Structure 1
């Protein structure tokens, strides 16, 4: 029987008069089409009644804003220098004591620089020692590998009764192929088919490999320390140079301080005049453009602020042209400090969906190019920054309603699922003005067909491209614990900027099932041991076993430990004996036991290297988070992956991305 194919025809009224109809076969495609149409309408309808050439008036306004901003800075600096010039005479008397203090500072800095130089030499020696040790260990590993291969050849030729035909075939295939012997060695070790001499050889080989791993990490720490010392040395030498330069400048000022300041002031005045000339030229150009524009459309210029009666008598097109001219003239540059936008609504209830939220993508089949701020119905929306309204999709029954506001420096903000719009097209709004009321509750006016509940859909365009709104907002108004980890650094910076002191997370340590996960230590090795000592149980606290088995399988030990944490919280919640990684355990009820901790950890590395998972290298390939159809280690869509990357970020002391390579090579 032939299946029927249904095509949804969804009318979305993009303007007051033009209905746009999309032919859709999925929610994702529908939203992609709508977002493209929405973007085109916002940026084309700002001046849709103007010709392309006439739109240059907006670019001229932008240039004027830039020149005005530069001119203000130069004037401010010049005024500062004039004040300093007036004070200079009173400072001359204290210059001699300043020079004495500079001499003391310079002497102390010379001692500090020499001390850092000694530390650099010492660290270099330590690095050289580690490199020599690594060379020795690598040489011993190579020798050990040759001996082990010879021993395996001996076993093969001997045809020991303890080796099965399958074992002999495995040995033969590896010898003929020239592949690594690690996997074979592990297999032979745990099946106890090698005689005492062979076991001792293997243990010696594994000890070399483990020591090599540790030495490489120590070398990395030493090299990082050397980089830090060099940076510190450069910084201290720069400070020393600055002190010497400052002393020299003071000496010069004592000889001719007034002349020096007069020279600076003269240079600033010259710069100020140049900028004023450029600004004046752009202003003349703007005035001519405005005049031609008004004449072209048979309109007259009206000062909206003082000529309300005349303005109300204009036809719609002339009124809009005057509103744009007025609005563009009032747009000022973005402040130099970060976070130029205020929150349009109080974000205390949190964010329900972040920019490029993976949960949204799974639900709707398209990227989320906004943030959704949880907020009760009909809450006042306030302008986050000065600007003017460039687009309105009005509230018509339960259809999707939204509007957009243009700000300076290429920023445009958009507000979606609104229940009420309190501004008109081309209205100029000041930061903090009420511009509408929130909506979003399904079935209410302005909510649209796909709204999931009361919230404000907040979009930010920067130079006509989607950008994460949280890059422009102060995150310290949100809850630190609720934020995804990638925003937490910005949160702390915003917190200090707003409150004047550092953010301190006062949460107490909790188990990994709680909301807070704490790892301590100066380096990765110390943090690995802290992880095992704090969260693991029994033999799973043995750091040597984890490292030896991980590197024998070419897997990052930190990754392996974090898998143990995610699967069974390092042994606290085992489903079967010693099965720390749930290898062979499944939802059908199948379970697999192991005789000890080492064999269970070795089974984990074998699983990651088997014919199904051995082709993968990155964390996101191991679960349904990033692998929708292939073989996987964990069936979780999100939690397993999130727990692994969070754990590894803590232990390694750096942000671990989704596509982090968990394989290592110890050579």
Structure 2
């Protein structure tokens, strides 16, 4: 190779390297202004690196010009080594820059997610502010009405007292007259008349007075009767408004707790923005452990499950799962994991979801109130749990028979541990999803439960395994599910078209109206049922409906205050209780005793669904039918026979405890 060719080769190498370096420099400049990195510092460092490369190239060219041909030949090896060395330096610079760019893209994606999450949280907080303000106004309005009613009932009480005193006086006058002149048989007694002979004329003319007093007494008794009716009406309204106010205050307190969580969440996100350093990566891992990462984890876990010998003992005790009875693998194998589903915001493989989030949705999103109980939809083993106090995504996996695996996302609280065996209908946690609250994750837009099912390693549509007859509005179902809805509805034992509907927009309002319409005396008061069910993990409405089915909420009592017929039997043995609250509370205590305490679904409480085990009612159908109809009227949707009636009684404060 002659000098001319060598020179051309080095010149081309230099030109290529210079152009490449210029392009890198240009890329750096076009990416300035990010909130993520100190770009001026990066650009300065990268520019110095490129200048260093340029100067080294010029040194090589200068050395070529300074030497003669023979000298150049002697320097060829050294020049090649230096070019190779400089190429390595350049590659190192390019790699460093690409790493920075890679980090920039990751962080930019993170901040995009953070921004979305913050937007959702702020929007949710503004809605909460409006809701809390509206609720406080309603509490204030009802409190004023309560004050007016209490004033009216106070005046009415005074009037009643005066009228009853007058009636008592009139009664005493008549009694004295009757005692002074009349004997047995309502005839004038001659001896009494003789004793009072000095005033015979006046006494006999007193007949008109007696008639007048009797008429006044009659009017007074009618007035007292009307006043007592009005008094009872006022008293009932006062109790109703007080109960309703109590409900509104509780809801306000729950909204306030969520609001406080959201404030803490926003503060933490701001800290992440300010502290964009390597040492926060470990904290961010859980926060950004969103659906794609979880999908990968589910696949890994599922593969491990498929490889394992599930019937043999292991750390997960799968043998317990297989030794316990379970439904046959036909039809609607799973129970609903949540009650009172108000809607389904995303279906399996929903194209709307994919357009919005750019990913497949291999689940159903069940819209339920924040903090609703989540139940095991079948017997299972808790295989995986993520239950952090920070703002990350909380989720869990259950393993069931027949190769089924179920997954739950956006849990505000998980109350079971990895390795636990859970029964169908047992509480496994509380739902979440409200932006900025515990366990909701980064991209949740509202309260809901993400529920997915896999069988033998493949995702399947959960809707195909659930009873669709309980869906409130069939019109919310896509056409592909309408046939299943009809089939499930026809398979129900209850005639759902013949259920009496109770007015009210919420279950609390319907509960109040149901008690008001059907209860007798104290059994119509919500406070009695709240106190009766206090600290017992049984749905308050189940106790009310048992009392309605057994005794018409006090209308058909066979023994004092025994509205649930607890202890009564066909032989005629009867058990009475000292007061109404004791009679109501014994229902809840019985459902939690050592015989019935393991039951989780109403189908297990009668011979309808429990042919051989311990039961509450001996009826094989009527009791079950009456209870489910009553529950449906209060809950506002068609209650399934396997309705899960247990409630969470632990610490309901879901605020973050640490980060």
Which of the five TM-score ranges fits, normalised by the shorter chain?
0.3 to 0.5
Q: TM-score, normalised by structure 1?
A: 0.33
> Which has a greater percent of helix?
2
Q: TM-score, normalised by structure 2?
A: 0.33
